[in-house]
Structure 1
Amino acid sequence: MTKKTLAFVVYPGISLLEFVGSRTLLGIILAQEGSPLKLGVDYELVVVGERIEEIPTDTPLSILPQKTFADVARPDALVVIGGGADTLLALEDTNLISYVRGAGECASWVAATSTGSLLLAAAGLLEGRLATTHWAYADRLQAYNVRYQATETSNTVTDGKFTTTAGASGAVDMALHLGAQLTNQATAQFGQLMIEYDPHPPFGRLDWTSFDQQRAILTPLMNRRPDRQDTVQDIAFLLYPGLTVFDLVGPLQVFSALHRIAPEFRLIVVAEQAGPVMTDIGVRMVPNCTFADLPHPDVFFVPGGTTPTLQAMSNPAIRQYIRSAAQHAQWIISVCTGALLLAAVGLLEGREVTTHWSFPRYLKDLGARYVQKRWTVNGNIVSAAGVSAGVDMALYLVSRLRNEETAHTVQWLIQYDPQPPFGGIDYQHLKLLPRCMRGIFTFVAPLYTTKARRLTRQERGRPPYDV
């Protein structure tokens, strides 16, 4: 089997959702056993930066690259992540541009998410080619003698070996497109099912007929640095080892855009301890707060995952933090199997909630009623379906915390305009493999839910643990 390297280029200020979305989906697609790709090529997916040190993103969550530019000087494939206004600063980084140029020239295929195309253009790789980027930077891209293509009908543009895309959702659309080319459509659609990419933005897709009017309002917000506010609402996002980081990053990206408009919303990523935390994609990410620092947030998000989340159902520190936070929170939100963590401490008994399509048995065992919806609202508890559903749900929540107009503005800022190349998901006709997976998860459910129920019974009547 031929070994190849797929490098994801990161730098200070990258769009975390663009990185996590493309890395997660391509990782799932390229790892599938039995795909045509596996018969001859095995890709190693690696995150590269100039140095192996903590890199800030456009959210409160920082990441750690896995290797340096020098370690992966000649990758077989390259994905350059965008970063909004911070990409403009990165254009002045000669070491970064030099790496993109050299790696891009030798790679067999090259992709860029959103403003990552500006870095390709600055490296001289897109001259005269057709490409796209975030709507706010079209003029910048054209200044490099690149033929800009708007994305009203397709988020993804391919010219030769170069593929570019626009906006946060474009990174996922692009990963599906590339994944199908590298394997086949069925394999790519399996990846789509696993992250439950069946987008239903709460207020529909972006209305490009109103773009000129919107641009005048939105452009000043793109580079805005929020002013400090005396009155804040703390919005906490739970980070724990092995979680599906896409669950967390989707809502975090939405609320990071909201923070530009409404700085009174303070975003905090909380973990049991300070320091890097390993995620499901093999990349360590760094929280900016501990459980003890913020025991009572105003809003808190609980992301999910697979086995690490099932194990977390019985983790004393995580259970205690969720119980404590729930006592005072205005909103309690789960994404994907994060609902199992809420159910494991007794918060969902008798409620209609949703989760990832393969885990309904766990909710039933824990006293909740599973419904197959993109998101559900039950009192002050909101639950989203699998992985990518967190973005749609977060936009809805912005409309509840502020108003629908603000949610529209946030959607434009991150350019969330999903256009899955193969349409949505047909849940009524799942193929054999996903049905078998759901059957396995159902079979082992009692191994995890029995202990969680016992712990909940023991905790009843006790005051919540004040971390």
Structure 2
Amino acid sequence: MAGHEKQLIAFPVHPGVTPLDVVGPLTVLRNLSGTPYRTVVVGERIAPTETDTRMRVVPAATFAEVPRPYAVVVPGGGAATLSAMEDEALLGYVRSTAGTAELVGSTGAGALVLAAAGVLEGRRAAVHWAYADLLESRGVTYAPERWVADGRFLTAAGGSAGIDMMLALLARLKSRSAATLAQLFMEYDPEPPFGPSDRSGDGELARLLRTSPAADRRRPARAEELIRMPAATGGERTIAVVLYPGLTLLDLVGPLQVLTELERFAPQYRTVVVAARIEPMATDVGAEVVPDQTFAQVPHPYAIVVPGGRGGTIRSMSDPEVRGYVRAAAASAAIVGSVCTGSLILASVGLLAGRPATTNWFFSGVLRPFGAHYHRKRWVEHGNVIMSAGVSAGIDMALYLAARLTDEATARRVQRAIDYDPQPPFGGIDWGHVPLLPRAMRGAVGLAAPVIAARPMWVSRVERRSRRDSTRAAVP
């Protein structure tokens, strides 16, 4: 990597990192094609690293392999950031790279790590609101804005602030049109269901956020416990978020961050990431992630959420393990959800026929062969099925779902805890004036819809025939 390090934008991760602080910015910057820049997730070693959810992330390179990146952006990690402020390997890397990097940044509580490394003294910086006083105690002026530029230093608050900041950076590194196109690809047109977040001081919540993670990983559920977690037991209710190779990681991370935070206020819920096997899986942003449980360990979740993607999702529409799990889990789940093109997986197993539905705007035509009726809304609810539009819409939908599972006051507190107060730098998406290129791309996907749908529909016919044959064979 040494020959290209000047063009790398490095995201150093640490134990307890907040996935949304990493994945939101990475999703924006994946649109840097055609420029000399690319992103890389780095760590002290290449090994699965715990996050503040029940999912682990695997760095693509070590600190030693990327010693002089063009830019370094430090993500936060909630309560774990306080430990990161004493991590000498991390602090040494930040000090070293900050000395030569063209840009130095942070997201969420990451500004505390920059401050602990001694590179922010005397500057203005944004940070997750719960850590403002800690930042100022390090000689840094807290900025209440969602993100702040102070010379070559770019710092963002929590939640989606990293997305807002990176859209502005993408416009700077490439062009404003590239940034607005990236916003369209992400369908980053936020509609928080309860309006803007209240970022005024809340000492009690701040202390809670700074002293304990939302997901208690010290309390792993045994397989036999996971099996008995449906709502009918009246006990712990499991929410399973499905992971499969090649998905859009923000589709998974957005709802995961919201629903994990819900556990802090409603401990009867437990959100896990499930996959066919517990192993690193590739995603759209170049970072591999590791699930918490297998499909077999969580056969009957209280709720299931299926993220989307592009090629990985199309392949999964015909994957017997993914299809089998989604169909079986949905049969007993109280809530069946999807994000972005995850609705295509629901449709491919026959769950959306005759229903109103939504998906990523570019893939809306693929719903039609399965008998679903597309609506361009942030989320669509029909019976026990709830679907969100593209990528970032999963955050809005998850907040709505948090209110449905508890109440609006609790969902508002979750929103405040994750510091979700989206403010896209170029405003929302102007759906009435979408440029020709993305409209042509959408049209091409629509023309390809019968081809995309053909294989999963054939698989469905084979599965139905197999079930009929099995039933007949069982009859004496």
Query: TM-score with structure 1 length normalisation?
Result: 0.93
Q: Is 401-410 or 221-230 further displaced after alignment?
A: 221-230
Alignment check: 8 A CA contact 1:311 1:448 kept: no
Letter in 1 for 2:369: D
Shift of the 178–200 alpha-carbon distance from structure 1 to 2, 3 Å rule, reads same
2:185 to 180, 189, 194: 194
CA distance in 1, matches of 2:280, 2:82: 28
Q: CA–CA distance in 2 between the matches of 1:329 and 1:218?
A: 34
User: Match of 2:26?
Assistant: 23
Conserved? CA contact 2:55–2:291, under 8 Å: yes
The answer to whether the 8 Å contact 1:277/1:285 transfers is yes
After superposition, where does 1:21-420 map in structure 2 within 5 Å?
21-28=24-31, 30-31=32-33, 33=34, 38=35, 42-151=36-145, 155-208=146-199, 211-212=200-201, 214-224=202-212, 231-420=235-424
SS where residue 50 of structure 2 aligns? coil
The amino acid that maps onto 1:271 is: A
Q: CA RMSD in A?
A: 1.8
Deviation sequence 1:137-172 (CA, Å, 0-9, x none): 111111111111113xxx110100001010111111
3-state SS of the aligned residue for 1:45? strand
Aligned counterparts of 1:136 and 1:49: Cα–Cα separation in 2: 26
SS of residue in 2 equivalent to 1:95: helix
Deviation at 1:451, TM superposition (A): 2.3
Q: Distance in 2 between matches of 1:260 and 1:224?
A: 9
1:431 is aligned to 2:443: no
SS at structure 2 position matched to 1:111: strand
The CA distance in 2 between the partners of 1:150 and 1:267, in whole Å, is 31
Question: Secondary structure of the equivalent of 1:269?
Answer: strand
Shift of 1:455: 2.8
Counterpart amino acid of residue 207 in structure 2: T
4+ runs deviating over 6 angstroms: 226-230
**8 A contact 1:218–1:409 mirrored in 2:** no
The answer to whether the 8 Å contact 1:10/1:80 transfers is yes
8 Å Cα contact 2:15-2:49 kept in structure 1:
yes
| CA offset digits 1:379-414 (Å, max 9, x no partner) | 000000000000000000000000001100000100
**How many Å separate the matches in 1 of 2:123 and 2:178?**
30
Q: Is the 8 A contact 1:221 1:261 kept in 2?
A: no
Unaligned runs of 5+ residues in structure 2 are 226-234, 471-476
Aligned residue type for 2:413: T
Tell me, yes or no, if the aligned pair for 2:80 and 2:213 is still in contact at 8 Å.
no
| Aligned-partner SS, 2:361 | coil
Do the aligned partners of 2:56 and 2:290 also contact (CA within 8 Å) in 1? yes
Structure 1 counterpart of 2:381, one-letter code: V
How far residue 47 of structure 1 moved from its aligned partner, in angstroms, is 0.8
Q: Deviations over 1:29-84 (max 9, x none)?
A: x12x4xxxx3xxx1131111111111000110001111111111111111111111
Equivalent position SS for 1:323: helix
Structure 1: state its 5+ residue gaps: none
Aligned length: 449
Amino acid at match of 2:22: F
The answer to whether the 8 Å contact 1:134/1:415 transfers is yes
- How many Å apart are 1:254 and its aligned residue? 0.3
- Contact persistence 2:197–2:421 (CA under 8 A): yes
CA distance in 2, matches of 1:215, 1:419: 25
- Identity between Structure 1 and Structure 2 (%): 49
Q: Is the 8 A contact 2:266 2:406 kept in 1?
A: no
- The worse-fitting range, judged by mean Cα deviation, of 115-124 and 222-231 is 222-231
